[in-house]
Amino acid sequence: MESRLVAWHAEHAADFPWRRRRDPYAVLVSEVMLQQTQTSRVVPRFEAWIDRWPTAEGLAAAGLDDVIRAWQGLGYNRRAVSLHRAAQQVAAHGWPEDLTDLPGVGAYTAAAIGRFAFGAHVLPLDTNVVRVTGRTGVEFGPAAAEALMDLGREVCLARVPRCGSCPLAGGCPSRGRRYEPLRKQSRFEGSFRQRRAETLRLVAERARDVQELDGAAVNSLLADGLLQVEDRRVRLPV
Ligand code: SF4
């Protein structure tokens, strides 16, 4: 099965900008962006980010206010704060042996950096990889990581897999099955997440008096280190 997958991937591999750079910083940035944002939205933002801050040292030296501004629109802004802290840690001490020591880096992101930047013998288990391995029942090796990710994203889709185009269809026990969505994504419109995003957007434009803003959203953003308050003026942290 794995050789069929690898042969398919030789012709169908996605050409993402982070795959052209294999350094750990680029993999870290891409993986943090991809944690909760669609790939198509991440591509231009990743390219702009790397143009502006091509190294961990460059990002570490940036002001947190600029980093938060540059993150606007990607959502889940805490990721920007963690990424900035991670870059500062790397700039000061180098890449840690245990990558989960870096802020915002969990087991999956550590495995992805290990695999794609350092060549570690580990298979990063993102949702696509888990789905394909679960449906096929095959234990793929680390070399199949990107092929599994691409197959899961383009062919072995969550609800209606495209089994007719799948290189693994011949030996797959799940071939032809349909799947109900596990859960609906929570609505963004009218949510507290939206109130936080709008509050952060207003403060990213300019510092504002606390009374102009949504108090609950300000408190929540303060707790995440995304805002600062001084003399009742709310601003981005620097
Ligand atoms: S045959 Fe269908 S269910 Fe099986 S891996 Fe391929 S796309 Fe997924």
> Residue 142 — very low, low, confident or very high, per pLDDT cuts 50/70/90?
very high
Closest ligand 1 atom to 167 CA: 6
pLDDT per residue over 61-97, tens digit each?
999 999 999 999 998 899 999 999 999 999 999 999 9
DSSP codes, the chain: -HHHHHHHHHHH----HHHH--SHHHHHHHHHHHTSS-HHHHHHHHHHHHHH--SHHHHHHS-HHHHHHHHTTSS-THHHHHHHHHHHHHHHH-S-SSGGGSTT--HHHHHHHHHHHH--S-----HHHHHHHHHH-----GGGHHHHHHHHHHTS-SSS--GGG-TTGGG-TTTT-----SSPPPP-TTSHHHHHHHHHHHHHHS-EEGGGS-HHHHHHHHHTTS-EEETTEEE---
Give yes or no: residues 146 and 113 share one domain. Answer: no
- Are 32 and 80 within one domain? yes
Q: One of 2, 11, 31, 139 is an active-site residue; which one? A: 31
Same domain, yes or no, for 145 and 62? Answer: no
The range of the structural domain enclosing residue 156 comes to: 127-171
pLDDT of residue 18: 94
164 in the same domain as 203? no
Identify whether residues 96 and 76 lie together within a single domain: yes
Among 140, 172, 179, the mutation site with the greatest number of ligand 1 atoms within 8 A of its Cβ is 172
Residues 47 and 103 grouped into a single domain: yes
Ligand 1 pocket: which of 1, 166, 178 to mutate (most atoms within 8 A of CB): 166
**Residue 144: inside a domain, yes or no?**
yes
Please check whether residues 142 and 212 belong to one and the same domain. no
Distance CA 74, CA 36 (A): 8
Q: Are residue 24 and residue 114 in the same domain, yes or no?
A: yes
Ligand 1, pocket residues at CB < 6 Å: 132, 135-136, 155-156, 161-163, 166, 168-169, 172, 174-175
Q: Is residue 142 part of a domain?
A: yes
Residue 182, domain member (yes or no): no
Number of domains in the chain: 3
CATH of the domain at 84: 1.10.340.30
* Confidence check: pLDDT of 187 > 90: no
Q: Do 84 and 157 fall into the same domain?
A: no
- Clarify whether 31 is annotated catalytic: yes
186 lies in some domain: no
CA distance linking residue 75 with residue 59, whole number of Å: 19
Top pLDDT among 223 and 101 is at 101
- Residue 50 within a domain: yes
Distance from the alpha carbon of residue 46 to the mean position of ligand 1, in angstroms:
30
What is the per-residue pLDDT across 17-70, written as a single tens digit (0 to 9) for each? Answer: 999 988 999 999 999 999 888 899 999 999 999 999 999 999 999 999 999 999
Is residue 46 located within the same domain as residue 114? Answer: yes
Domain boundary among the residues 118, 141, 159 is at: 118
Residues 47 and 141 in one domain: no
Instruction: Output the pLDDT for position 185.
Output: 63
